[in-house]
Structure 1
């Protein structure tokens, strides 16, 4: 294996497995590793930052921003950098690593350009491949447990807020297709939600009534553990952003503007710890049933 090939493999492997001494952000850790490799290429070529910028036709500050992970490099930037350093063999791996880092933080406006339905469909393969789901929701009923009417109402509000064409009917059906994993295959589900989720009015009273009835049905499934954290519980962990843990391989965190895909083992372990803390505060079985029934009674 030549030195160029060896170092290319090292970059890709490092992006997949950031070490624990780096930033707590998987995205920033990946970006820093790419920037570090670019700096190594420049030094190996015997170039100063100014000389590299001149060779690439840039202002010197651009080289500095890229090398210090302040500005993510485009594909063309990576080609120009490697070309200036006489390291064209590095381009393909660096572009792949950069694109992988891009996928860690994905703005909703980017993935929703083609509508909400496609986003729901794109997650089906991951759901089918996952054996152990750990899900926490603080604002809405988890997608896996949503009825068609609840999903339509929620996705219609998402489309309106983001100024998208309303394909909530098709998107809701795709979400229900994704939820077949509750009944098919070898999967286990540990699902937590705040009690407030049961009372937030998504859709009208009929929609919420149907949704709450559905929760009572789903919680009886043998592979589903549904916990509700009472509003009166003394908190050991504050309500946090909604997140899904897929086995021990990845965590998806849902923000208002973006989806954050966590793959750094240290961060996954933190989310698993947080899930355990939240699970310890939840009520299950008859107690959870009573909290759902109380929310149902509150609809009238």
Structure 2
């Protein structure tokens, strides 16, 4: 759980305690009024449990302050859409971010992902990853810890071979042609993608340029265990945890997947991109 998320949950708990204290009731009596287990009130007030919208509505009514429900709901939505500034995350380099992703993937069983502009980190070769990390460090003016960051990103890929993991990944065809590195490095990267087709834990689909789509290609995103979504923008990383947001991104993935090709057809698209490289 992110520090930002936990801090926000604790702040929400403080506000809940203030509302309960305004009734003059002890925690156990407030729980009885709500018909809850007494430990639930303590967990919510101390930031040990995340409230549901229904919990907050009931709390405001029991506290005799129904008008506070909207504020409590707003605070909850703030928890569910966590923002992490890249400038802050990269203040000491890329290694810490890569290590966090290693932990994220290890605690996840099923991942659905989509990338429109870049080969996903899970599938990158060390050389391709190196160029991306250098470009990003230059853009963000962050410390250059490229070797450590590349090693951590490669360590993330160990999950591809763990029993019980499933990775369903879509790539927009344009990402196969985006030259963010020398052509020989891109050739090796495309060969790496081909080698992943047929891997038991991986379902790799390519959304072709000419596919009939129900929406535009959109930005990249990753859905973890159908519980949370991570979206990266140029300046910020968002972690979305509300059921509505997860369901929305799930529907976007489903619509993109309708236009994707797999197996030999995906292989042909990757081979076409490789053949277009000027390796002379």
- Normalised TM-score (structure 1): 0.71
Query: How many Å apart are 1:123 and its aligned residue?
Result: 1.7
| Contact kept in structure 1, 2:81 and 2:241, CA below 8 Å | no
CA distance in 2, matches of 1:223, 1:270: 25
Residue in structure 2 matched with residue 116 of structure 1 by the alignment: 94
Structure 1 residues 4-59: Cα deviation after superposition (integer angstroms, max 9, x where no partner): 9865645759955447xxxxxxxxxxxxx79xx89x98969xxxxxxxxxxxxxxx
CA distance in 2, matches of 1:3, 1:112: 44
Structure 1 residues 114-150: Cα deviation after superposition (integer angstroms, max 9, x where no partner): 2101110012222011111101001100110011011
Residue in structure 2 matched with residue 199 of structure 1 by the alignment: 177
| Contact kept in structure 1, 2:170 and 2:206, CA below 8 Å | yes
CA distance in 1, matches of 2:195, 2:209: 23
Residue in structure 2 matched with residue 104 of structure 1 by the alignment: 82
What pairs up with 1:43-192 in 2 under 5 angstroms? 101=79, 104-192=82-170
Query: How many Å apart are 1:182 and its aligned residue?
Result: 0.6
CA distance in 2, matches of 1:211, 1:177: 17
Structure 1 residues 213-266: Cα deviation after superposition (integer angstroms, max 9, x where no partner): 000001121221110011111221211111111111111111111111111112
Unmatched tracts of structure 2, length 5 or more: 1-27, 32-38
| Contact kept in structure 2, 1:124 and 1:178, CA below 8 Å | yes
Give the length in aligned residue pairs. Answer: 240
CA distance in 2, matches of 1:282, 1:205: 25
CA distance in 2, matches of 1:270, 1:69: 20
Say yes or no: does 1:286 pair with 2:264.
yes
- The secondary structure found in structure 1 opposite 2:205 is strand
- The secondary structure found in structure 1 opposite 2:92 is coil
| Contact kept in structure 2, 1:138 and 1:193, CA below 8 Å | yes
Unmatched tracts of structure 1, length 5 or more: 20-32, 45-66, 73-96
| Contact kept in structure 2, 1:18 and 1:264, CA below 8 Å | no
Q: Evaluate the alpha carbon distance shift between residue 272 and residue 68 of structure 1 in structure 2; reply closer, same or farther with a 3 A threshold.
A: closer
- The secondary structure found in structure 2 opposite 1:233 is coil
CA distance in 1, matches of 2:53, 2:40: 18
Q: Evaluate the alpha carbon distance shift between residue 102 and residue 272 of structure 1 in structure 2; reply closer, same or farther with a 3 A threshold.
A: closer
Q: Evaluate the alpha carbon distance shift between residue 294 and residue 106 of structure 1 in structure 2; reply closer, same or farther with a 3 A threshold.
A: same
Q: Evaluate the alpha carbon distance shift between residue 153 and residue 69 of structure 1 in structure 2; reply closer, same or farther with a 3 A threshold.
A: same
- The secondary structure found in structure 2 opposite 1:104 is strand
Query: How many Å apart are 1:153 and its aligned residue?
Result: 0.5
CA distance in 1, matches of 2:86, 2:204: 28
CA distance in 2, matches of 1:228, 1:106: 29
Say yes or no: does 1:299 pair with 2:277.
yes
Residue in structure 2 matched with residue 226 of structure 1 by the alignment: 204
- The secondary structure found in structure 2 opposite 1:161 is helix
- Superposed CA RMSD in Å reads 3.2
